[in-house]
């Protein structure tokens, strides 16, 4: 019985070894694909929050690959600078439109000049005096 179990165990170990090694059919283990970040952020449109959340950087022995991190940070920095410039441009346009609407003299050169403001007391009715026009109950 001992010899039977020993031979069975040797056959099982040999079969597992042949399966793991590939059995000489030339297939073997395929080469693993490099763990690289090919397209971290979209080039054809502005970066959105979902794009930043979806970024996954490749991990190496000593951390993240510096080139990948630098590329992502450079792109995000450029996007932020572009958005800041656009916000400043829109705020300046809004301030100009607001100043034109207020119509202060000399705020905007060549803009509409304010006309004479109507006298608020000229056409306003007088408020009723106490006791006049009120009916007592």
| Eight-class DSSP state of 60 | E
In the predicted model, what is the mean pLDDT of the chain?
76
Residues 110 and 96: beta-carbon distance below 8 Å: no
Please name the helix (run of DSSP H) or strand (run of DSSP E) that holds residue 101, with its range, or none.
helix 66-102
Per the CB < 8 A criterion, the answer to whether 67 and 82 are in contact is: no
| More confident call, 32 vs 68 | 68
The DSSP call for residue 63 is E
Arithmetic mean of pLDDT, 83-109 = 83
Q: Which residues pair with 63 in a beta bridge?
A: 60
pLDDT computed for residue 128 by the predictor: 58
- What distance in Å separates the CA atoms of residue 134 and residue 129, rounded to the nearest whole number? 9
> Do 133 and 123 meet the contact criterion of CB atoms below 8 Å apart?
no
């Amino acid at each position: 019985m001992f010899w039977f179990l020993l031979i069975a165990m040797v056959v099982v170990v040999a079969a597992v070894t042949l399966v793991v090694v590939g059995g000489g059919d030339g297939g073997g283990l395929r080469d693993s694909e490099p763990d690289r970040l090919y397209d971290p952020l979209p080039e054809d449109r502005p970066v959105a929050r979902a794009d930043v959340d979806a970024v996954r950087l490749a991990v190496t022995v000593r951390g993240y690959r510096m080139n990948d991190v630098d590329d992502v940070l450079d792109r995000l920095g450029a996007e932020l600078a572009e958005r800041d410039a656009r916000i400043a441009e829109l705020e300046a346009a809004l301030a100009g439109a607001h100043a034109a609407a207020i119509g202060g003299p000399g705020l905007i050169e060549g803009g509409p000049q304010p006309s004479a403001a109507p006298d608020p007391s000229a056409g306003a009715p007088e408020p009723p005096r106490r006791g006049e026009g009120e009916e007592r109950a």
